[in-house]
Amino acid sequence: MSDLPREMEEEVLSKLPVTSLGEVRSTCKKWNSITKGHSFLKRHMGESAEGASKKKQKQRKGIEIKVVMLLEKRVSLMSVNLLYPSIEPIGNINADGVDISKIIHCDGLFLCITEEENSSRVVVLNPYLGQTRWIEPRTSYHRFDSYALGYDNKKKHKVLRFVNDYDPRVKHRVCEFEIYSLDSNSWKVVDVGPDHDWTTSFILRGLSLKGNTYWYARDKLASSRIDVADFLICFDFETERFGPRLPLPFHGLVGDTVTLSSVREEQLAVLFQGNRAPVYTVEIWISSKIEPNAVSWSSLFLAVDMRPLIGVRFNNYAASFFVDEEEKLAVVLHKDRGSPGPTTRNTACIVGDNGYFKQVDLGESKQYCCFPLVSSYVPSSVQIEQPAILGSQKNTP
């Protein structure tokens, strides 16, 4: 290979699957440089699209999907087979081997929140290019922070950090909203308008879709009551503002399980499992239209009674999921305590119409408070440029 012209080397290497690029880049500096170049990425992305088209019918027989999962504070690329159930790791994509508590996907990039002693850090990953970008805080990160990753109309990627919660350590409510621009390597405090009359749990992830981020939210003024207004709220990265309340196809109570996912990076899916009769029925709805200021819902995608299948409800802070529209299947991640005994295991429940149900054991869970998470995986050629001077940050008040 070393005697081949560069263009021919690119041609040969572009035939390799995305899962092999990590090993290729670690082989030698030349291949690392080639496989991160613009011409190679254009060629490889084209080969991937063509290969996916040719193999579509073959893949559909087994319903093979690639996703990114967070299990036991480790992030991995996984291959999922839905009809002959298996979930197998393809490669580890953790940032520098640190513990990860949360992942957020947008446009092929991943925002990862670390879990370290007495602190957290934030890093953006591009698994396809093998790139990372650590983001230093403007002042400091907070344990009740919520995060989002999105982009504006110019495809400039940004990170939203906000906290709007009562902190018992300081005995008052902490309210901070700020945005980090990967393009300018700077933080700025944003004025999102008057005090919001809604709240969302910092434990729950937002869902990034078409550059904007959506959260399941509730009426803050009545948050101490069980029956409160619930809705979606969206942060628009172009206007850098939260939009109006968006209606849901159900009404949930405090303690219900509500989780968001995306479908083909175009539609929003929401899983609902109530905390009242019938408490075991899971409903999944898919939007027919979704924008920062408007949403409409198609008919119910799936409804499954989980009581005869697993005998328990999904945890209201877990139940991360994704769907396959063509096969009308859903995969829901779950922590199963087992019966009898205290052993906790991570499991994937594959459910569908007409009583279809399979379970895949994802291994013993030793991190009880770290719930398994799943995100779609779309290879991206978006470059994560490093700051000109590492560690220097512009902080705009």
**What are 235's two structure tokens?**
């942060």
Give me the pLDDT at residue 131, please. 84
pLDDT at residue 343, as a whole number: 66
Residue 204 identity (one-letter amino acid): L
Taking a C-beta distance cutoff of 8 angstroms, is the pair 103, 70 a contact? yes
What is d(CA 198, CA 221) in angstroms, rounded to the nearest whole number?
7
* pLDDT for the residue 58: 40
Per-domain boundaries in the chain: 6-50, 55-396
Alpha carbon distance 64, 45 (integer Å): 19
Q: Distance between CA 90 and CA 67 in Å, rounded?
A: 10
* pLDDT at residue 150, rounded to an integer: 94
Instruction: Name the pTM for this structure.
Output: 0.83
Instruction: Look at strands 394-396 and 186-189 and give their pairing.
Output: parallel
Question: In the prediction, which pLDDT does 17 show?
Answer: 67
Q: What is the 3-state secondary structure (H, E, C) of 138-180?
A: CCCCCCCCEEEEEECCCCCEEEEEEEEEEECCCCEEEEEEEEE
Per-residue pLDDT of the chain (397 residues; tens, 9 = 90+): 667 777 777 777 777 766 667 677 777 777 777 777 767 666 666 655 444 444 444 444 456 788 999 988 888 889 898 878 899 888 788 777 788 888 999 988 999 988 776 667 899 988 888 888 999 888 777 777 889 999 999 989 999 998 766 566 665 666 788 999 998 889 999 887 655 678 887 777 889 999 999 999 888 765 456 678 889 999 999 999 999 999 999 988 888 889 999 998 889 999 999 877 677 899 999 999 999 999 999 889 999 988 888 888 887 777 899 998 888 899 999 887 655 556 688 899 999 988 889 999 998 888 777 788 898 888 888 888 777 654 444 554 4
Give one word for 224, left, alpha or beta, with left for phi > 0 and alpha for psi -120 to 50.
alpha
Q: Six-digit token pair at 43?
A: 């060629």
pLDDT at position 165: 65
pLDDT of residue 48: 52
Which residue stretches of the chain are H helix?
Answer: 6-13, 21-27, 29-34, 38-54, 56-62
Model pLDDT, residue 38 = 66
Domain 55-396 class? mainly beta
Q: How many residues does the chain have?
A: 397
Could you tell me the two tokens for 201? 């749990």
Q: Are 114 and 124 in contact (CB under 8 A)?
A: no
